[in-house]
Amino acid sequence: MSNSNGKVAVITGATGGIGFEVAKRLGKDGYTVVLNGIEDEIGAQRVKELTALGITSEYYGFDMTKDEEVTANIKKIGEKYGKIDVLVNNTGGIGVRARFEEMTTEQYRFVMALNLDSVFYASRAAIPFLKKGENPTIINYTSNAAWNGAGPGAGIYSVSKGGVQSITRALAKDLAEYGIRVNAVSPGTIDTPFHAQIKATKPEVFASWANSVLLGRLGQPEEVASVVSFLASKDASFITAETIQIGGGQALGI
């Protein structure tokens, strides 16, 4: 595997969609990429795909909503490489759809764990190793939902992403003295498997989404990966506590 002098990036939820594009991009940027996921067969396949591209990578299977699993595995990764240079907290999702009146406490807890707790667990465990990193940085994912309350049934997603917005700024303040930068990206509607079901069952709805985007189209995963690449690079060395919208102007509404 890569020696400890190489740059190391840990990307959670990286076996598909935007996460895997980020892994490919950071790999091409010269990082050894460590992918996390919960589908071990897909994880193994992704490592093969990265190897074929000449990228050094590893897969660790663990559940980002489970405190002990995250802590133990991030520690294992950090100790193996002697440092972590970049942590990309990519894990997340709608989780469940429920109006607040019908929402169970279990559903509430799950969505918060998936989107917010996961960022806390991974960041906390990675900080000692980021302190040893080169140009160390954490990159989180928020959403327009953090501001607009999301659609009916996705309210708790909005709440969790609002938390990510806050923890990004709070971590940036907490870690500035160590030279660790913390930023977030806020992808708009990106054409990934995340939207596959609606694309297949209601293509007209899917197509209509482009109408709400100033640039008149949906984003591609590579267009998120390129911004993550920038935020991880020395070119972004004076950027911290920021959120970059990657939505083709969608946040403005039309």
Q: How far apart are CA 180 and CA 160, in angstroms?
A: 23
Domains and CATH numbers, the chain: 7-191+219-249 (3.40.50.720)
Share of the chain above pLDDT 90, in %: 87
Per-residue pLDDT tens over the stretch 27-53: 999 999 999 999 999 999 999 999 999
pTM over 0.85: yes
Residue 127 has pLDDT above 70, yes or no: yes
69 contacts 91 by C-beta, under 8 angstroms: no
Residue 1 confidence (pLDDT): 40
Residue 199 has pLDDT above 90, yes or no: no
Joined tokens for residue 137: 């940085």
Rounded mean pLDDT of 122-142?
98
Catalytic residue among 81, 121, 141, 157: 157
| Residue bearing the bigger pLDDT, 202 or 253 | 202
Phi/psi at 9 (5° precision): -120, 130
Q: How far apart are CA 53 and CA 50, in angstroms?
A: 5
Active site residue 141: no
Residue 194 has pLDDT above 80, yes or no: no
Q: In the structure, what pLDDT confidence band is assigned to residue 2 with cuts at 50, 70 and 90?
A: very low
Cβ atoms within 10 Å of 127's Cβ, excluding its own: 20
